[in-house]
Amino acid sequence: GGGGSTWAASERCGSVRGETKMSQQAANGDRCRAKVLTVETMNPNVKRVEYAVRGPIVQRAVQLEKELKQGAKKPFTEVIKANIGDAHAMGQKPITFFRQVLALCAYPALLEEEKFPEDAKQRARRILAACGGHSIGAYSASQGIECIRQDVSRYIEKRDGGIPSNPDNIYLSTGASDAIVTMLKLLVCGEGRQRTGVMISIPQYPLYSAALADLAAVQINYYLDEDKSWSLDVAELRRSLNAAREHCNPRVLCIINPGNPTGQVQSRQCIEDVIRFAKEERLFLMADEVYQDNVYAEGCKFHSFKKVLFEMGPEYSSTVEMASFHSTSKCFMGECGFRGGYMEVINMDPAVKAQLIKLVSVRLCPPVPGQALMDLVVNPPQPDEPSYTTFVKEKTAVLAALAEKASITEQAFNTMPGFTCNPVQGAMYTFPRISIPQKAIDKELGQVPDMFYCMKLLEEEGICLVPGSGFGQRDGTFHFRMTILPPTEKLKIVLQRIKDFHLRFTQEFS
């Protein structure tokens, strides 16, 4: 017990010393207790980032789902999330062949099983042979597995009618988003009036505005023409560019085709005009083509920017710098969670390419299961293989269902009072224009009117949409984006509920 008294004495001694320091500590207390990282001391660019697709309305939707599970009484029994292009979450079934090969890759012992078709096994063996230790759990090369990049190149050549594609220009990525942000990182530089300006369509997919805010780049808006089915007009590009030159250095032009959130498909003529404009104004082209299989409207066809560029001849194909993007997340696959994607770069300076490889190396590599899935998308079952018939049947059924839902949605909105909706030519969304009574606009002065509208719709009907203000829209117009992904019967219910709500909303604020 003797040690205890020594300890007690030292404690008393410490407390006396402590008392003499207390006033000093009190003075420093606030400074000592303050966090190193606060909203005031954090990166200010991050605070400017907004991402409406997963914004406050979605957060409230998640909360409402929890409340329903806990037995809370609401005017609805489920929350229907029509805010995001997440096909499988909306009940779309995966393509059998894709999942068979991925299952074999994830658990190679299944290669001994009889129940898997031989072509699925062959694909799995080829992918595993290209992986370190024959495992999709190993890192890959930073640019992506070589044989998969070769397959991507062959797919692009076939898609574009034989125009050559070099695997060295292919970079596999964590979905298309990762590749888009990486390219923007390479492109943004300068200070003040020399800061890089990036032209993006309004309405736009908020990934672009968020990435530009994060990089402190200058966002240059060009408006799509709602009265002409959201078409792109070069005169508007020129207006936007000239205005921007007053305060920044425009270097990049971003195009989304088919469009998100607007669902338009660009004509070949329009693409040629855009390429000419990019050449004249010395702009780097970024072509976001993740919805290339989602084309529904009669008379509409997907033309890749690369194909049109090369068909315009060497004057363009040897000079215009471009990156194009594709993904496993959309089209008929809808495999968002695997985060598979690629970009192809054209006419990139070899010294910059070396820097790009360095930049992707920092991330180590894209997810290998996502790379494997990308390989199956670009190298699907062939007519002489056992899985071909099922694969074509499933792919056709998904795209036919989407085409039907695009038509149902457009027709429904155009028969609702207070709505106008352009044809959903492609992609997975509709972006109808809604009339909001002046009284509702005046009442909610602190809130954007279409945000108020969508939040009220969520609370009263359990339907989660994204307000048009999250994508950008012309002043004085109001929209929302809705996916066409819910199963047909559920989609009809959603449309009916929106109609009922809109009539109530209009009466309440008339």
Q: Where is average pLDDT lowest: 151-155, 275-279, 366-370? A: 366-370
pTM flag (> 0.75): yes
What count of other Cβ atoms lies within 10 Å of the Cβ of residue 29? 11
Q: Are residues 6 and 73 in the same domain?
A: no
- Structural domain includes residue 80: yes
Q: Are residues 216 and 338 in the same domain?
A: yes
pLDDT tens digits, 288-310: 999 998 888 888 899 999 999 99
pLDDT tens digits, 73-107: 998 988 888 888 888 888 889 999 999 999 999 99
Per-residue confidence at 280, pLDDT binned at 50, 70, 90?
very high
Looking at residue 354, which CATH number applies to its domain?
Answer: 3.40.640.10
pLDDT at 6: 44
**21 pLDDT above the threshold of 60:** no
Better pLDDT: 267 or 31: 267
Mean pLDDT throughout 202-210?
88
Sign of CA dihedral 276, 277, 281, 287: negative
pLDDT at 267: 92
pLDDT tens digits, 110-163: 888 889 999 999 999 999 999 898 998 988 888 888 999 999 999 999 999 999
- Structural domain includes residue 479: yes
Q: How many domains does the chain have?
A: 4
List helix spans (H) across 281-416.
305-311, 314-317, 350-362, 368-378, 388-414
Mean pLDDT of all residues belonging to the chain: 88
From edge to edge, which strands make up the β-sheet containing 284-288?
A: 170-174, 340-346, 322-327, 284-288, 249-256, 196-202, 218-223
Q: Are residues 82 and 118 in the same domain?
A: no
pLDDT at 7: 46
Per-residue confidence at 363, pLDDT binned at 50, 70, 90?
confident
Q: Are residues 415 and 359 in the same domain?
A: no
Q: Are residues 83 and 181 in the same domain?
A: no
pLDDT at 210: 87
Q: Where is average pLDDT lowest: 42-46, 187-191, 197-201, 259-263? A: 42-46
Mean pLDDT throughout 217-238?
92
Per-residue confidence at 50, pLDDT binned at 50, 70, 90?
confident
Better pLDDT: 40 or 468: 468
Domain stop point among 138, 155, 174: 138
- Structural domain includes residue 64: yes
Q: Are residues 406 and 418 in the same domain?
A: yes
Q: Are residues 115 and 257 in the same domain?
A: no
- Structural domain includes residue 39: no
Amino acid in position 183: M
Looking at residue 465, which CATH number applies to its domain?
Answer: 3.90.1150.10
Q: What percent of the chain has pLDDT over 70?
A: 93
Q: Quick one: which H or E segment has residue 218?
A: strand 218-223
Domain stop point among 356, 378, 400: 378
**502 pLDDT above the threshold of 90:** yes
Query: What's the angle, vertex CA 462, arms to CA 458 and CA 466, rounded to 5?
Result: 45
Domain stop point among 378, 408, 439: 378
- Structural domain includes residue 483: yes
Task: Provide the β-strand partners of residue 402.
Answer: none
What count of other Cβ atoms lies within 10 Å of the Cβ of residue 456? 16
Looking at residue 109, which CATH number applies to its domain?
Answer: 1.10.287.1970
DSSP per residue over 432-455, as a string? -EE---HHHHHHTTTS-HHHHHHH
Name the CA dihedral angle for 328, 332, 336, 342, rounded to a multiple of 10 degrees: 10
Q: Are residues 348 and 442 in the same domain?
A: no
Q: What pairing do the DSSP bridges indicate for beta strands 466-467 and 480-483? A: antiparallel
- Structural domain includes residue 452: yes
Q: Are residues 246 and 373 in the same domain?
A: yes
pLDDT tens digits, 429-478: 999 999 988 888 887 667 788 888 999 999 999 999 988 988 888 888 99
Structural contact between residues 264 and 422, judged by C-beta atoms closer than 8 angstroms: yes
Range of the domain at 435: 48-91+392-508
Nearest to 479 by CA among 442, 510, 434, 444: 434
Q: Are residues 250 and 106 in the same domain?
A: no
- Structural domain includes residue 246: yes
Structural contact between residues 97 and 120, judged by C-beta atoms closer than 8 angstroms: yes
Pairwise CA distance, residues 88 & 337, whole Å: 9
pLDDT at 297: 83
Q: Where is average pLDDT lowest: 154-168, 182-196, 311-325? A: 182-196
pLDDT at 27: 54
Q: Are residues 118 and 73 in the same domain?
A: no
Q: Where is average pLDDT lowest: 11-25, 109-123, 205-219? A: 11-25
**248 pLDDT above the threshold of 70:** yes
pLDDT at 384: 94
- Structural domain includes residue 384: no
Q: Are residues 344 and 436 in the same domain?
A: no
